[in-house]
Amino acid sequence: MPSVSASPTRLKFWGTRGSISVPGQGTLRYGGNTTCVELRADDEIIVLDAGSGIRPLGLALEKEFKSQPIKLSLLITHAHWDHIQGLPFFAPAYEKKNEIRVRGYDGVDMGFGEIMAEPMKAPFFPIAMRELSATIDIKKLTEMEFSAGKVQVRARFVNHPGVCAGYRLFTSAGSIAFLPDHEPYRFLHAAKANDLSPEEAKQTATEERIGLVEFLQGSDILILDAQYTDAEYENHVGWGHGSVSSAVLLALDAKVRRLLLFHHDPSHDDGMLDAIVDDARQLIRERGKHLEVDSAREGEEVVLSN
Ligand SMILES: [Zn+2]
Ligand SMILES: [Zn+2]
């Protein structure tokens, strides 16, 4: 029987892309699947988001566990398609022996349970959520701190259209922060921002950034939205995503050990993502700081050691 506990704490990237899947020759190295990251830590399997990358994860789990039950937690950051569209194609959901705990927050106008069930309703999909054979336990999160087995999780709402959470997971081998979609606070997405004067908005932005730096402080690994180059971001202010320099500066301020640029733009091919990493490293050198940075790559495994 596969033993989760015997394995080291590790992350595996099954989908690193934002917005929409982009398979093809240009994305072979960094991958074309949308958001899905697997964490194995402290006897737990925790899956972060259910983009199209959750499909190959499901196949790998079936191969590993064979007739043994698969028990895992799936944490959803928000309901945008690129973060949930793979769930109907997650093979373990179709096996009676498996138990899948699905957790996330209510949206602005829709409860979490409805958010997860809606895309599987007719006419969008032929099999309804309630027809899945596995035990699927969908519950909304109401607290900003909770646990998945021995892994403690803290959540924070980030700057993105609608309700979108970032998670920080504390394992016995270090902590991992997962913020796949987040825009710098220069543009405020919160509905309350509409009623603020420019001065109040500036004050709110400053406070929010300080709060986020505290939330991320000392993370061993930060997986962060860096969808746009700095030049591209200027034409996408308000779209909900970050730029390379904003990701690097946030990671430096929070004294993160390793930054993995994430939610790659569908128009960025492998060569472009190499160039983005070069830019990020250049910026770190210019600041005279040390920070490990890479573009997250589909298929890559990151092992955390104590
Ligand atoms: Zn997204
Ligand atoms: Zn989003």
pLDDT tens for 213-241 read: 999 999 999 999 999 999 999 999 999 99
Average pLDDT over the chain reads 95
Q: What confidence tens digit (pLDDT) does each residue in 150-167 have?
A: 999 999 999 999 999 999
Residue 181 C-alpha to ligand 2 middle, in angstroms? 5
Nearest ligand for residue 18 CA: 1
Residue 236 C-alpha to ligand 2 middle, in angstroms? 14
- What is residue 1's predicted lDDT score, i.e. its pLDDT? 47
Residue 180 C-alpha to ligand 1 middle, in angstroms? 7
Q: What confidence tens digit (pLDDT) does each residue in 81-131 have?
A: 999 999 999 999 999 999 999 999 999 999 999 999 998 999 999 999 888
Residue 200 C-alpha to ligand 2 middle, in angstroms? 26
Q: Is 115 exposed, middle or buried (0-12, 13-18, 19+ CB in 10 A)?
A: buried
Residue 288 C-alpha to ligand 1 middle, in angstroms? 32
Report the greatest alpha carbon distance in the chain.
60
Residue 155 C-alpha to ligand 2 middle, in angstroms? 16
Q: Give pTM, 2 decimals.
A: 0.96
Residue 2 has pLDDT above 90, yes or no: no
Residue 35 C-alpha to ligand 1 middle, in angstroms? 7
Residue 50 C-alpha to ligand 2 middle, in angstroms? 12
Q: What confidence tens digit (pLDDT) does each residue in 232-276 have?
A: 999 999 999 999 999 999 999 999 999 999 999 999 999 999 999
